[in-house]
Structure 1
Amino acid sequence: MAGLPDGPERSRIRQDIVCAWLPMADRLAGRFRNRGESMEDLRQVAALGLVKAVDRYDPGRGNAFESYAVPTVVGEVKRHFRDHLWTLHVPRRVQDLRNRVRFARQDLSQTIPGRPPTRAEIAAHAGMTEEEVRVGLEALDSFSALSLDAELSGAEDGYTLRDTLGSADPALDVLVDREAVKPGLRRLPEREQRILYMRFFRDMTQSSIAECLGISQMHVSRLISRCCERLREEALRDGSADETAEGPAKAAAGRS
């Protein structure tokens, strides 16, 4: 085929070669069964690798076709797994570590019956560091992602992964404001501090506060308004002062 120009005869011979070697491609595809991909798709990918091997093989180099075709087909199947079947993009290095750990565990499981091999044993067998083994072990369980609606194993009440996720704390929105008014709160008279505490931390009504302190509700309302306005002005003034002080400091840092 290599000695023929493009034409019907070359195409016929090319097709005959591909058909003759398809059983080999099928056998190679069978090595990757039960890994989340159907055998039919694996056979198609392997056949594509075989076609590439037929087109790229150079008999002038003196090597047998099989020695070139086998790694070409296997590489095509591995590339298919790497590019299409991982739910998330995983670096090639991590995928290689995953494969080395998987093969090492398979080998050691035949010589260490009754228990799984330890991380140190896998590292020694595969010539890896224990940190590399750790990454490979984590990747073993990361080939596909679970749905957030997937029910957790052992859960009898429909408890899902979504139920384990946290949510935004609404208190974070007022965190800066609360920290800003703390110094001003400490400077208020004790009675005003007590009034604000009862109103905003104990959620008491103005009538209840007035009754507790023996003053009128109108007086409580005026005190709350006056204290809040004072705290607001002090917080804004302190914030402006901090920004003014930061200006020369940043300029000095830039010059240094």
Structure 2
Amino acid sequence: MSITDALEPLEDLDLAADARTRACAGADIHTRERLRAEFVEQALPLARRLARRYRGRGEPMEDLEQVARLGLVKAVNRYDPERGSFTAYAIVTITGELKRHFRNHGWGIHVPRRLQDLSLEVGRARGALTATLSRRPTDEDIAERLGIDVAEVREAEMSGAAYAPESLNAQADGYDGLEVGDLVGAPDPGLDLVDDRVTVERLICRLPERERRILGLRFYGNLSQADIAEKLGVSQMHVSRLLARALTWLRQAMLSDSPPPWTGADDTGHRLAVATTYQGEVIETLVTGEIDQDNAGRLRDDLLAALRDGGRMRRMRLDLTGVPLLDAAGIGVLVAMHEAARVRNVEIRVVGLQPYVEKVVAASGLRDLIG
């Protein structure tokens, strides 16, 4: 059935539009408004019949009639008699409003208009190909018919599911007393840790660079303490001590309203200190604290200064009794001091090696050189 047959008689509205146009010519504004209202009322059956064509598609009939009437008003306001039949123009305008309504309100989940239109085209192509091929067409068949990529066909099919999504309050199949929403997702334990993660991130920024790097290698790089020690050129014991110190400070800071200042807690016995005295022809230098790559450069400068300030003194006694830890950088300092003393014809002797330091010196093969 054609649109003309479905909306008969069409001539009445066209004649009424012509009569209204002639009556409005030269009339005042109030008369034109009255004629407009009368014409809209006369054309309401047209809007009603067009709205009924879209019933049963998930939208209330009252809403569809309201949209059709709005389209009718737009058609009356915009109609130009010189451009042809009013009925044809009104049908196009009202139908456009109805389709726009379905695009904007008919879909349960909003998707781009391109995908809405493509989803309809894919649906029509699937129906036509099913009749032609006598089987369910594949995505490749539909893509070839529409001249698009297979990926676009699949995207359109996924978007089509958004037209009438299943309610989360619907009864779940196979689960007595449970709704679909009860089966979706689960509590995320990570949500409770968001505040703690943000706080820890800010606290880590307060730590010295060395401690930050160790924490990063341990907990983000998943390296063992031995691997970190090898990477940083220090002992595993030293890494363990630094890691424990940083974690202790972080725990205290997390439990307090204001973070305590970083002072290197529990580090007073391991800070490097150099004390030099000159007795006769002997330079007595006492070193206390840990020696690693972070302070080896300062220790070398202090020892070279002591050797230089000693003038004509012929012996240097380097006491490491207070050094619990010595890494490869510290060994390098001892080698550099031996060479500097040899150039100055100064005899250097290293004494007071603790067991761990003794082990490191022996492993480096320098026991005879610096003993």
TM range (shorter): 0.5 to 0.7
Structure 1 or 2: more helix by fraction: 1
The 5 Å alignment of 1:151-170 reads 151-156=171-176, 158=178, 160-168=180-188, 170=190
Change (3 A) 1:103 1:67: farther
Alignment of 1:157-236 (within 5 A): 158=178, 160-168=180-188, 170=190, 178-179=219-220, 182-184=223-225, 230-233=242-245
Matches of 2:150 and 2:92 in 1, distance apart? 29
1:151·1:161 contact (CA, 8 Å) conserved in 2? no
Flag the 1:9–1:131 CA change in 2: closer, same or farther, 3 A: same
The 3 A distance-change label for structure 1 pair 39 and 116 is: farther
Q: Which of 141, 160, 163 pairs up with 1:121?
A: 141
How far is 1:45 from its partner? 0.5
Tell me: higher relative CO, structure 1 or 2? Use CA pairs within 8 A at least 6 residues apart.
1
For this pair of structures, how many residues does the alignment match?
A: 200
Structure 1 letter corresponding to 2:35: I
Secondary structure at the counterpart of residue 82 of structure 1:
helix
| Equivalent residues in 2 for 1:1-80, closer than 5 Å | 1-3=20-22, 4=24, 5=27, 7-61=29-83, 63-80=84-101
Unmatched segments (≥5 aa) in structure 1: 189-225, 242-256
Matched residues in 2 for 1:48 and 1:144: separation?
26
CA shift for structure 1 position 154: 4.5
Q: How does 1:105-120 map to 2 (within 5 A)?
A: 105-111=126-132, 115-120=135-140
Comparing 33-42 and 2-11, the one that deviates more: 2-11
Say whether the 8 Å CA contact 2:119–2:160 is kept in structure 1.
yes
CA distance in 2, matches of 1:91, 1:24: 31
Query: Once the 2 structures are TM-superposed, how far is the Cα of residue 162 of structure 1 from its aligned partner?
Result: 4.3
TM superposition shift of 1:53: 0.7
Paired with 1:158 and 1:83, the residues of 2 have a C-alpha distance of 32
CA contact (8 A) 1:97 1:135 kept: no
| 1:93 Cα offset (Å) | 1.0
Tell me the percent identity. Answer: 39
Is the counterpart of residue 96 in structure 1 residue 137 in structure 2? Answer: no
Distance 1:52-1:181 versus aligned 2 partners, 3 A rule: closer
The verdict on how the C-alpha distance between 1:54 and 1:160 changes in structure 2, with shifts beyond 3 A counting, is same
* Aligned residue type for 2:57: R
CA deviation string 1:148-188 (max 9, x = no partner)? 44444454462634433254354996997634674326689
- CA–CA separation in structure 1 for the residues paired with 2:122 and 2:28: 46
C-alpha deviation, 1:43, in angstroms: 1.2
- Structure 2 distance, partners of 1:140, 1:181, is 45
Checking the alignment, whether the CA contact within 8 Å between 2:228 and 2:239 is kept in structure 1 is no
TM-score, structure 2 length as denominator?
0.44
Structure 2 vs 1, CA of residues 181 and 92 (structure 1 numbering), >3 Å: closer, same or farther?
closer
**Aligned equivalents of 1:127 and 1:179: distance in 2?**
49
Paired residue type of 1:46: A
Counterpart of 2:157 in 1: which secondary structure? helix
Bigger Cα Rg: 2
Report the TM-score when normalising by structure 1.
0.60
Please tell me the residue identity of whatever aligns with 1:99. Answer: L
**Cα deviation 1:27-48 (Å, max 9, x = unaligned):** 3223322222111211110111
Q: CA RMSD in A?
A: 4.0
In 2, Cα distance between the equivalents of 1:181 and 1:138?
Answer: 40
Q: Structure 2: which 5+ residue stretches go unaligned?
A: 1-19, 201-214, 230-237, 251-263, 265-293, 295-371
